[in-house]
Amino acid sequence: MSLTAIEHWYLTPEAAEKAFEVMQEMDDILEGNAHNSAGWDGHARFFQSHEDPTHVIMYYSWRSKAEHELLLESETALLKDFLAKYCTRDREVEYATELPVDV
């Protein structure tokens, strides 16, 4: 059963003004790495906070926490320059299980 990975990105104020372009750049950097992973389970969705535009949240499905943790390790070097250029700190990651509420 897959899980939902939730990533919190903390952009600089300047990067937040062009969050779409910045997050597209991040996606371009990591896209091949993620899509080639055995844990890949679909495309991410990106949301910029209204209350704090420097906070961008990504949601996406992944096959398992263990496989996702391997992905995160493999992304560290790939993200080094991106984080230094656009972010105030490292991303934070949490996991959730979707509840099948009938709506």
Each residue of 43-76: pLDDT tens digit? Answer: 899 999 999 999 999 999 888 899 899 989 999 9
Amino acid code (one letter) for 70: L
8 A C-beta contact, residue 78 and residue 33: yes
| CATH number for region 3-96 | 3.30.70.100
User: Which of these, 63, 42, 46, lies nearest to 7 by C-alpha position?
Assistant: 46
User: Which of these, 5, 30, 89, lies nearest to 55 by C-alpha position?
Assistant: 89
Strand partners for 55: 10
Supply the DSSP symbol for 17.
Answer: T
What is the average pLDDT score of the chain? 92
- pLDDT at residue 35 in the model: 74
Q: What band does 1 get if pLDDT is binned at 50, 70 and 90?
A: low
